[in-house]
Amino acid sequence: MADTLEENYLLDEQDAVSVVGSDDGAVSVQDEPVLSNEASEDAAPAPTSTQQESKDEAARKLDKKRKRKEKEKARKQKRAAVSAELVQGVGSVATQPSDLQADYLTSKQSASFAKLSELELEELRLRESMLLDTNAFDKPRTVDTLADFVRKCMPSIAKNIVDSQHPSVSKPGHPALVILTGNALRAADLARGLRSLGPQLPDSDDRSTGPAKKRKMANGSNKAQKDDADAKSGRKDSKALLGGFSVAKLFARHFKLKEHEAWLREHTTPLAAGTPQRVAALIASGSLHLDSLQALVIDQTWVDAKQRNVFDTFETRDELMKLLALDAVMAALKRSASPTKLVLF
């Protein structure tokens, strides 16, 4: 029986079969079901937990993005509110007591002169006694209130710049007040704000000597051409009509250094507005004299489109600190008689 089975049922090693025997001796061969790994994988259902985790992760990312947008919107609104306050001078360092202003300036000096030793920094330190207390001025600090600011906090300057005997009026290049700001456009605006401190042209004056012509004169127009034109037309010299008064605009935009140097040698400038780098260059060249300087004003309240004041921009801050560290400036601030005052506007 065993031989017959062996002869008739030769099984291939690769065939999957089973031999089933019964009680009466009958034998049958049945195929075994073959389950491949590939079939089992296809048949297995995808786990629902993985899909749910993906959905949860996507929801978390959306929620995080939404919160980030809300925070950014809140920050923008806060910056806009702070900017509006700073433009008006609310909470500005300029409105703080002199001792706090001195500490603030010391911190800016340390940032600009990081490589100097403590001893060297101490020599350059801007002390409380060098600063003018302007807390009495309670109006918003803007271009439109600049003239009122000078009249209120620096009445002697407002008086001296219309006195023909005062050196700032009688000597070329000897200003009584210089205001420093962050860029040329702002300096031009400040010059406009200062102009109302001086004598005004009579209303009956010819249109050709109006504001446009005065601006051209103040920016260094050809003096010979102006004199010839006035002589031919029989008009008085515009400088005489202004009582020798002009506001210098001292910045690099549109003006070369040599042009400013030549202009300062020929014109009296009781008031000046400019940028730290150009003003420092004119002081260093000997064109801008500080003998009559009563106030060096820093336009600290104003901020630009990025909510930065004159100390927030590294380049401008460093140029300003370099200017304040000049020997001529330190000597003016430390004068025993009528020292120059540092003023934050």
Asked if residue 150 lies in contact with residue 138, where contact means CB atoms within 8 angstroms, the answer is no
d(CA 4, CA 54): 63
pLDDT score of 293: 96
pLDDT for position 205: 41
> Burial of 117 by CB count in 10 Å (0-12 exposed, 13-18 middle, 19+ buried)?
exposed
How do the domains of the chain map onto residue ranges?
60-88, 91-199+241-344
Residue found under tokens 């407002």: 158
Q: Answer yes or no: CATH 3.40.50 is held by domain 91-199+241-344.
A: yes
Q: What number of other Cβ atoms are within 10 A of residue 344's Cβ?
A: 23
What's residue 233's pLDDT? 36
10-residue stretch averages of pLDDT, the chain, 345 residues long: 49 51 54 51 58 84 87 73 48 86 93 91 92 92 95 94 86 94 93 86 41 44 46 38 69 88 90 95 94 95 88 91 95 94 96
Give the length of the chain: 345
- Residue-level pLDDT at 107: 92
DSSP-assigned beta bridge partners for residue 179: 273, 297
Collapsing DSSP to helix, strand or coil, 16 comes out as coil
Distance in angstroms (rounded) separating the CA atoms of residues 263 and 271: 14
- Closest to 333 in 3D by CA, of 304, 302, 296, 301: 296
Tokens of 20: 């089933």
